[in-house]
Amino acid sequence: MNTLQIREMFPILHQEINGHPLVYLDNAATAQKPLQVIEAVKRYYEHDNANVHRGVHTLGSRATDVYEGARDKVARFLHARSTEEVVFVRGTTTAINIVAASYGRAVCQEGDEIVITPMEHHSNLIPWQQVAKATGATLKYIPLQEDGTISLEDAEQTITDRTKIVALTYVSNVLGVINPVRDIARIAHRHGAKILVDGAQSTPHMKVDVQDLDCDFYAFSGHKMCGPTGIGVLYGKKQLLEQMEPIEFGGEMIDHVDLYDSTWKELPWKFEGGTPIIAGAVGLGAAIDFLQEIGLDEIERHEKKLTAYAMDRLSAIGDLQIYGPRHERSGLITFNLGDIHPHDVATVLDAEGVAIRAGHHCCQPLMRRLNASATARASFYLYNTEEEVDRLVDSLIKTKEYFGYAIG
């Protein structure tokens, strides 16, 4: 399938913004949705809508089938050992919070260590700060090197026998760095620690195999991979999820309720209190089908090519500073254009129909490390083209001229 054919499946891309064809380059924040996903959600509401796991009627069993069917798809997509290891949650943030609040608080005590990195976005940083505060454990950071990557030597130094949990992102949403999570998992396990991988920025863009990575927990969101918002996944190794207590209690997750005590359902439902996001799960299942039809390898190859092209063209703009490593990175580029504040850059680009991100990207500690209060970011996905990169570059040159004229 070529990019033009793929673009045909995304209705939202075919519109004008401020008189220019839309160039959507904010995919790291959320991706656009193909017809296949939109139709699946629509079909569910038009034909199958009912609550799951309790209806004796036909719609109830259809809803249960599509919801659990989506779980099967996720399990195969991640190469999990079983569907019991796939918990549907609201998104990456919720998934990490469940692990922190349930597993983290249960296993950490004073003198223990939790290891993260300075490139974590707030969702994989604050939950661990809170666990550290509540339990007296020490929060430690694997330091960043000059180019924004982390070294295995530093990881070896930081992770010790006192480490209980290592939590890190697979791909940085600011630096584009791809972390060596498989190697870090090995180091963590050698010390008896568990590892959580934040897959928000990796799952949409590359093949992920949780057994191959040997991660204990893996979290991601549906909306960054062409699925709906409000649905995400917590993957956990069965034996760990089994020993964890749920943190949300209520309907759907209970087994037997007495006046003064209750028991929980089996995995994965014990973590799914309340009516779940059924349509969201259906949409996520459709998104997985869509991505797999195109092929994750194909998507990765396309983004790599596009990013290399963008790197070349952006590097040729004078005064444009790019953050993070040049090579071995994922499809997003964070930059600043001279002294022009990224908000001003984003506003001028928006006037040209080009949507990018400007701000701290929920990574305040990392921004301080980069010595920037904010940055601009262009992030690519399977439907972006070289022509769109050209539009980005042209608009940036215009921005420079505009501000050069206005300020200079």
Interface positions with other proteins (CB under 8 A) = 18-19, 341-344, 347-348, 350-351, 358-360, 364, 367, 373-374, 402-403, 406-407
State how beta strands 23-24 and 354-355 pair. parallel
Distance (Å, whole) CA 78 – CA 58: 30
Nearest approach, Cβ of residue 359 and other proteins (Å): 4
User: Measuring CA to CA, how many Å separate 89 from each of 104, 120, 124, 170?
Assistant: 18, 20, 16, 19
State how beta strands 113-116 and 86-89 pair. unpaired
Q: Which residues contact 293 (CB under 8 A, 6 or more apart)?
A: 1
* Cα angle for residues 29, 216, 235 (degrees, 5° grid): 50
Specify whether the CB–CB gap between 196 and 210 falls below 8 A: no
Q: Quick one: which H or E segment has residue 60?
A: helix 58-78
Q: Residue 333 or 366: which CB sits closer to other proteins?
A: 366
Q: Residue 18 or 275: which CB sits closer to other proteins?
A: 18
Distance (Å, whole) CA 79 – CA 76: 5
Residue 308 tokens read as 């290399």
- Which candidate in 215, 226, 362, 363 is catalytic? 362
Nearest approach, Cβ of residue 347 and other proteins (Å): 6
Nearest approach, Cβ of residue 402 and other proteins (Å): 7
Residue 147 tokens read as 């180019």
Q: Residue 168 or 358: which CB sits closer to other proteins?
A: 358
Amino acid making up residue 228: P
DSSP-derived 3-state class of residue 309? helix
The CA-to-CA distance between both ends of the chain, in Å, stands at 47
Distance (Å, whole) CA 39 – CA 136: 49
Nearest approach, Cβ of residue 332 and other proteins (Å): 18
Which residue is listed with tokens 């036909």?
Answer: 58
The question of whether 108 is a catalytic residue gets the answer no
Nearest approach, Cβ of residue 58 and other proteins (Å): 46
Distance (Å, whole) CA 158 – CA 143: 9
Whether the bond between 268 and the residue before it is cis, its omega within 30 degrees of 0, is: yes
Q: Residue 295 or 359: which CB sits closer to other proteins?
A: 359
State how beta strands 194-198 and 320-322 pair. unpaired
Q: Residue 309 or 402: which CB sits closer to other proteins?
A: 402
Nearest approach, Cβ of residue 97 and other proteins (Å): 19
- DSSP character for 2? -
Distance (Å, whole) CA 267 – CA 356: 40
Residue 326 tokens read as 């040049």
Nearest approach, Cβ of residue 344 and other proteins (Å): 5
194 strand-pairing partners:
165
Nearest approach, Cβ of residue 135 and other proteins (Å): 27
**Residue numbers annotated as active site:** 362
